A and B are shown apart, each in its own frame.
Chain A
């Protein structure tokens, strides 16, 4: 029996670890990538601890613009969805009792319809409406369309929140207000609305978050006002850097902060109402709450981060890292040269063969690129020497101008960076001249 219980506990523990690992593991990993100086979001190899991606983020016009658009759309969606949702929930619970189930189905349908469909239909419908009125600019405006498109289904979410709250409302209170001489408007404003306030707050938060993270509807409607999600997806298409992780860290921190603050607030209320007791081992202002402790810890961490970022500089670390890389590279070059010398000595006259094979296998003989991997060059472009993205992202200058647009006119087929020995040598400034290879045939970037 005992061993069964123990086994059960271990199994449960393992399950929880896996479950939470699955839930928050990706967030944790991404959080670390925001502080790694590697140019691509990664934690291995760990290069240097840095805050530079946060600075990078704040310098990125497109992301900032995306955030701004997201906020505008979010606020618009909150206003529209909350009002539609509230009205619908009132109709549902208080006005049309007979048609309740029919109306419910209609209003809930947008949640079940794929967002893509909503996006397309919003676009098509308002284009039509706009055309009907002779092309009203507002109706084709990306912000307007996105708010309308998102609200079609977010309003349904809001309505569900309101209906849940309204079901606990005593309609006798409205009757009492009317009986005491209030008009219907006054009864609504002074009795029902205060009762709905918590639901309105949660519906607004829900609507904002749903709007902020929406992609599939927005992608059809954003027009010339891309939101943050749109910008991010476009960035991913052209290659990303860890400033996206930095953005994610900021969002996660804000979210956790908000959640903790809410928890602390709720706890405080409960303690004041006497529903739960304060813990005796904690200071009174913490209201005996683990959430308070976490909140304080989080605040300290953020403050500490902001302060250290003012003084901390990873330049030394980066320089060290670069030096280590240089040494490593140089050692590799030497080892390869030695191996080649040995091979030459053994085979004597087969330099031609070796010269044609080596570049094809190594994905571009970097030694041939006009000496781009000479130790002095690496000081400027250490981050790009990984070889994976060197072709696309590296500044062109160390490559001896081989990627200058004019070069490609002669050899469009070779612009992928995969050098073939048969390519016309002229376009590459003669770098593929067989004689070049005699000096440094096998010294690729890796």
Chain B
């Protein structure tokens, strides 16, 4: 297998008539990385992928693969292989013919192809299934055949367009680790498209979070989850409680806001916004449900609310709170064997650690 090569997107703009699908995308993907584009549907992530694979040319900017400008090269001339959302296995070809299609078009003999197909079938744990037709395979098997078919072309970059979205939950989780495993084994660059933040966080070395054609943040899973660059990222990746208000004090990388309904709250300024937040600005502060705990804390990091409802989810309890003025707050507690349930309707105090909350200039939230 070829080793991974860098993929660089330089100032990519993609326009369809007046509609701007991708705006000024600058992405550097290191060779051998598992890189994900994460975003809601219609945010332009598939468009970027098609620009990398060569099905469309960017209106502006350059796509570099391994340092080579790909302008003017069609999909069949690029060192990429794409795994389609619906897999696009050739229905009239047998599994082994599907897998070795890339060899067939280069003129390999049937014997060579059969041999290579058997190797790849071994790798994806489908030995002896080569003579079946795709329609005779299960969803997960088709998935693996699609991966084998793409790998058979020996690409430098493997592109995956939401390949797991059609699978059921169990299989999806299984395929996640399997994909990661395959990626480590073959060592090539994977570019993965998904709207599922769980997939992106578990598999990726790096994640780019996209919103309406704009890349809001690029970073590893921790950065994206704990230090979101924008309110969109904060609300799209994982769950978050948002508190809106005006900045009353800025102290280095900490800021205090006068929240609309929950009093004064203090938190870290997210790294991307350090130095950009001034007193009097509209701001948003985010606290993750799992960062809240019961009990009194520091005055500026305590919220009083009453318990409205509680959901038991096995490993955690989700507790829904209603703060002052009907403010909806969610809290998550690990299931440690004791039911934390309190009488509903009681006013209680909840606190958080200011280091575990982030504040940033106000902006658009992800619409759920």
Interface residues of A (CB under 8 A from B): 170, 172-173, 175-183, 186, 190-191, 194-195
Q: Are A180 and B84 in contact (CB under 8 A)?
A: no
Interface residues of B (CB under 8 A from A): 53-55, 74-76, 80-82, 84, 86, 88-92, 101-102, 104-106, 149-150, 153
- List the 9 closest pairs (A to B, CB-CB), nearest first: A176-B88, A180-B102, A172-B88, A182-B105, A178-B75, A179-B75, A179-B82, A178-B76, A194-B92
Contact A180/B92 with A170-B86, A175-B84, A186-B105 known, Cβ cut-off 8 Å:
no
Q: Are A195 and B92 in contact (CB under 8 A)?
A: yes
Contact A179/B76 with A170-B86, A172-B86 known, Cβ cut-off 8 Å:
yes
**Which one of A170, A172, A182 lies within 8 Å of B76 (CB-CB)?**
A182
Q: Are A179 and B80 in contact (CB under 8 A)?
A: yes
Q: Are B74 and A177 in contact (CB under 8 A)?
A: no
**Which one of B84, B89, B101, B150 lies within 8 Å of A182 (CB-CB)?**
B101
CA distance A186 to B76 in the complex (A): 11
Chain A contacts for B150, CB-based, 8 A: 180
Chain A contacts for B105, CB-based, 8 A: 177, 180-183, 186, 190
Chain B contacts for A194, CB-based, 8 A: 92
Chain B contacts for A182, CB-based, 8 A: 76, 101-102, 105
B102 to chain A minimum Cβ distance, whole angstroms, is 4
Q: Are A180 and B101 in contact (CB under 8 A)?
A: yes
B234 to chain A minimum Cβ distance, whole angstroms, is 35
Residue among A172, A176, A191 with the highest chain B CB neighbour number at 10 A: A176
Closest residue of chain A to B86 (Cβ to Cβ) is A172
Contact A190/B104 with A175-B75, A182-B76 known, Cβ cut-off 8 Å:
yes
Contact A173/B102 with A179-B81, A179-B82, A180-B153 known, Cβ cut-off 8 Å:
no
CA distance A247 to B152 in the complex (A): 58
Chain B contacts for A191, CB-based, 8 A: 90
Given contacts A176-B88, A180-B105, 16 further A-B contacts (CB under 8 A): A170-B88, A172-B86, A173-B90, A175-B82, A175-B88, A176-B82, A176-B90, A178-B75, A179-B55, A179-B75, A180-B76, A181-B106, A182-B105, A183-B76, A195-B91, A195-B92
Residue among A178, A183, A191, A194 with the highest chain B CB neighbour number at 10 A: A178
B91 to chain A minimum Cβ distance, whole angstroms, is 8
Instruction: Give 27 A-B contacts (CB < 8 Å), ordered by A residue.
Output: A170-B86, A170-B88, A172-B86, A172-B88, A173-B91, A175-B82, A175-B84, A175-B88, A176-B82, A177-B101, A178-B74, A178-B75, A179-B76, A179-B80, A179-B81, A179-B82, A180-B105, A180-B149, A180-B150, A181-B106, A182-B101, A182-B102, A183-B105, A190-B104, A191-B90, A195-B91, A195-B92
CA distance A190 to B100 in the complex (A): 13
B65 to chain A minimum Cβ distance, whole angstroms, is 14
CA distance A178 to B82 in the complex (A): 10
Chain A contacts for B91, CB-based, 8 A: 173, 195
Contact A181/B86 with A175-B55, A190-B105, A195-B92 known, Cβ cut-off 8 Å:
no
CA distance A51 to B350 in the complex (A): 104
Chain B contacts for A178, CB-based, 8 A: 55, 74-76
CA distance A32 to B84 in the complex (A): 61
Q: Are A179 and B90 in contact (CB under 8 A)?
A: no
A199 to chain B minimum Cβ distance, whole angstroms, is 13
Closest residue of chain A to B77 (Cβ to Cβ) is A181
Closest residue of chain B to A176 (Cβ to Cβ) is B88
A178 to chain B minimum Cβ distance, whole angstroms, is 5
CA distance A181 to B102 in the complex (A): 6
B218 to chain A minimum Cβ distance, whole angstroms, is 25
CA distance A170 to B86 in the complex (A): 10
CA distance A176 to B106 in the complex (A): 15
Residue among A179, A182, A183, A194 with the highest chain B CB neighbour number at 10 A: A179
CA distance A382 to B54 in the complex (A): 84
CA distance A177 to B84 in the complex (A): 11
Chain B contacts for A173, CB-based, 8 A: 88, 90-91
CA distance A318 to B86 in the complex (A): 73
CA distance A246 to B54 in the complex (A): 63
CA distance A180 to B153 in the complex (A): 6
Residue among A175, A180, A190, A195 with the highest chain B CB neighbour number at 10 A: A180
Chain A contacts for B55, CB-based, 8 A: 175, 178-179
A172 to chain B minimum Cβ distance, whole angstroms, is 4
CA distance A183 to B82 in the complex (A): 16
B312 to chain A minimum Cβ distance, whole angstroms, is 42
Chain B contacts for A170, CB-based, 8 A: 86, 88
Chain A contacts for B53, CB-based, 8 A: 179
CA distance A178 to B50 in the complex (A): 13
CA distance A378 to B204 in the complex (A): 103
B2 to chain A minimum Cβ distance, whole angstroms, is 14
Chain A contacts for B82, CB-based, 8 A: 175-176, 179
Closest residue of chain A to B104 (Cβ to Cβ) is A190
B90 to chain A minimum Cβ distance, whole angstroms, is 6
Chain B contacts for A181, CB-based, 8 A: 76, 102, 105-106, 153
CA distance A100 to B105 in the complex (A): 32
Closest residue of chain A to B92 (Cβ to Cβ) is A194
Closest residue of chain A to B84 (Cβ to Cβ) is A172
CA distance A176 to B53 in the complex (A): 11
Chain B contacts for A186, CB-based, 8 A: 105
CA distance A180 to B84 in the complex (A): 12
CA distance A169 to B164 in the complex (A): 22
CA distance A311 to B88 in the complex (A): 62
CA distance A58 to B196 in the complex (A): 75
Closest residue of chain B to A172 (Cβ to Cβ) is B88
Q: Are B88 and A180 in contact (CB under 8 A)?
A: no
